[in-house]
A and B are shown apart, each in its own frame.
Chain A
């Protein structure tokens, strides 16, 4: 049996807005196995992104238990968490979030600058990642010189360049046309199938969900039971 990459028990997240508290997530129990492609779906404001952010270590839960890759990440300091993210998690955002003044190559290289790899090793990794997303010929292009789909593929290359166990994607096709969206989803499927990456994807797009191995629905901060 595959081991768990994400183990969540009774997790909650409450936002304090002045005198009001809003429960974004309530009593979440979730277990994500290694090699799964989990798709989180649900209406706006259901807490999908919050849950994704908490699992990826860029937000913290208010209560409950959370282990990602065996680590109780809620207890890590800010800097320790930053290092943990660099090693274990790759991110893909809806709006790509590439650095506009850096080329495709330099954007992909960014996470590697925090590793001990030599310049030559970094180059090898960056070129491999860009080749994997089909952009080996665009290494010197700046984000503004790329199409939306190409930008998102560069962002995927950046997410996988450190060879993380877990790749999280927040609405990765939200800003893309249908053709580019398919390309991006194909790449994510390939990462899951051929490279055994565990993928967590938040999406509204029912077509995107077809690529997933597991689909879970969130509503009003609660995870609905698994559909059979």
Chain B
């Protein structure tokens, strides 16, 4: 049987100040780790949650994002009548030719601006996006220079509230509605009619065409049909593939999170190591006594590692608690694929908290290993003679 856990717990309680200080260094590290990972997680979710499995985005072959792409109007006619495209109740193909442009808008309370995506949609555009929900006002009417703004953009940018007038391109546009698009990339966009937007930006062509396939089999057939048609020079990706590709925007944040957390972890592990070395030094005689009554080196090693891990787990738990209030807080970053604002929420998942705890335990283990090794390999006679 191993040395009882109460031995460790009571020792931690006896030197509670040292325990608390060591645990707090781990708390801070875990908090930073969880917060940064929650940022990356939120960003990733907003991109991976976007898209209907049967929606395909048709873009110019070779373009990485809709803003780089153009689809000529005559190509739209060819696309519309490809086999495998779903029809609405009127028997018309479910297709939305779309124009995506970027405008620079000032953030609320700041002079500096940021790029925001304006999407001009075709008549089927709303119906094709299950995430879309109008929460205030009404939908735009064509020909009247009206826009609807996502809730997150309305909250974060000037002149984007309901009834506000927004100046871009060749004049003022009125905000007539606020929409919610959940946790998706659309939640960072301003929408209007594609045919209203095009003349204002002197565009003849669309950026992309969103098409709805009849079924999963048709998705593959449509992708092939678009790619095989040499007149078009276009490609079709599923909407989910397209947004998943953009998740690499989260990579630098993830890297930063891991990098900063790793640096802090080195410090926290040293704190744990220092504490455990002190604990071993203070309890050398006890270690000798435990060895004398028959506890093996292995059980001494395990006992001190457990003690270090207990401190770290306490720190990790506190770290997760401290990070928790950030869950759901909205923030934004530049999507490096589209160079426009992407608003999203910090997302602390149970998996992330578990990762935080594992990270803490790992710091405790590394910090405790060498002191525990020393404790286990202490010469019994020398240990008993220590004061």
Contact = CB atoms under 8 A, between A and B. Distances in A.
Interface string B1-22: 1011011001100100000000
Nearest to A102: B7
Given A97-B286, A97-B288, A97-B384, A158 B293 contact: yes
Nearest to A56: B292
B293 A111 contact: yes
Interface in B248-286: 285-286
A114 B295 CA distance: 7
B297 interface: yes
Nearest to A116: B1
Contacts of A83: 294, 296
A82 B291 contact: yes
A37 interface: no
Contacts of A53: 381
B290 interface: yes
- Interface residues of B, dominant DSSP: helix
Given A59-B380, A93-B384, A79 B297 contact: yes
Nearest to B377: A78
A99 B380 contact: no
Contacts of B288: 97
A85 interface: yes
A97 B285 contact: yes
A85 B381 contact: no
Interface residues of B, number: 24
Interface in A35-83: 53, 56, 58-59, 78-79, 82-83
B297 A101 contact: no
Contacts of A97: 285-286, 288-289, 292, 384
Interface in A108-156: 110-111, 113-114
Contacts, number: 68
A97 B290 CA distance: 9
Given A59-B381, A101-B11, A82 B294 contact: yes
A82 B296 CA distance: 6
Nearest to A85: B294
Interface centre among B288, B291, B292, B298 (most CB of A within 10 A): B292
Contact of A85 (B10, B11, B292, B297): B292
Contacts of A100: 14, 286
Given A79-B297, A79-B298, A93-B384, A114 B290 contact: no
Contacts of B298: 79
A145 B227 CA distance: 86
Nearest to B288: A97
Interface string B343-387: 000000000000000000000000000000000000011001000
A67 to B, nearest CB: 20
A85 B298 CA distance: 16
A34 interface: no
Interface centre among A83, A85, A97, A98 (most CB of B within 10 A): A97
A209 B289 CA distance: 25
B155 to A, nearest CB: 55
A213 to B, nearest CB: 25
A106 interface: yes
A56 B293 CA distance: 11
Contacts of B291: 58, 82
Given A113-B4, A114-B1, A91 B293 contact: yes
B343 to A, nearest CB: 53
A87 B10 CA distance: 27
A214 to B, nearest CB: 24
Nearest to A93: B384
Nearest to A113: B1
Contact of A101 (B7, B293, B294, B295): B7
Nearest to A54: B381
A185 B291 CA distance: 25
A106 B291 CA distance: 16
Given A97-B285, A97-B286, A97-B288, A110 B293 contact: yes
B292 A101 contact: no
Nearest to B13: A101
A122 to B, nearest CB: 10
B6 A99 contact: no
A99 B298 CA distance: 19
Given A97-B384, A99-B286, A114 B10 contact: no
B381 A86 contact: no
A87 B294 CA distance: 8
A108 to B, nearest CB: 10
Interface of A: 53, 56, 58-59, 78-79, 82-83, 85-87, 91, 93, 95, 97-102, 106, 110-111, 113-114, 158
**For the complex of A and B, 10 pairs with smallest distance between CB atoms:** A86-B294, A101-B10, A97-B289, A111-B293, A113-B1, A58-B380, A79-B296, A114-B294, A82-B296, A82-B294
